[in-house]
Amino acid sequence: MAELRFVRVHVGDRTVLWESQDHRAALNAYVESMTTGTLRYQVALHVAALDDEKHRFHAAMSLRQVYMQALETLMALLCGMLQGGGGLPMWMVSYTNKELRTLVQQLTQGQRLPGAKRAFDFEGFAAAIMQDSVEMGATIHPDEADGVPLADAAPDFAAALRRLCADFLNEELHAEYNSIKHGVRAVPGSLQLRFRADSTEKWHVLDMPYGSTYPKRVQGSVKPRMALKTHTAGYDPAQVHARTLVCLDTTDVLRAYARGALGKSTEGGVWIAATEAVDAAWGRGNQGALINMTTDLL
Cβ neighbours of residue 292 under 8 Å, at least 6 residues apart? 172, 229, 230, 231, 232, 233
Query: What strands lie across the sheet with 204-219, from one edge to the other?
Result: 187-195, 204-219, 224-231, 292-296
Picking from 180, 181, 214, 219, the residue whose alpha carbon sits closest to that of residue 292 is 214
pLDDT beyond 80 at 270: no
> pLDDT at position 67, please?
95
Q: How confident is the model at residue 274 (pLDDT cuts 50, 70, 90)?
A: low
> pLDDT at position 82, please?
92
For all residues of the chain together, what is the average pLDDT? 79
Mean pLDDT of 175-192: 67
pLDDT beyond 90 at 151: no
**Which pLDDT tens digit goes with each residue over 61-118?**
889 889 999 999 999 999 999 998 889 999 999 999 999 999 999 999 999 999 888 8
> pLDDT at position 204, please?
56
Q: How far apart are CA 123 and CA 161, in angstroms?
A: 10
For residue 221, the 8-state DSSP code is: S
Which percentage of the chain shows pLDDT scores above 70? 68
Which percentage of the chain shows pLDDT scores above 90? 30
Mean pLDDT of 216-220: 70
The alpha-helical segments, DSSP class H, found in 8-153 are 23-33, 37-49, 56-79, 88-92, 97-108, 122-135
- pTM for this prediction: 0.81
**Which pLDDT tens digit goes with each residue over 19-75?**
888 888 888 899 889 999 999 999 999 999 999 988 888 888 889 889 999 999 999
> pLDDT at position 298, please?
41
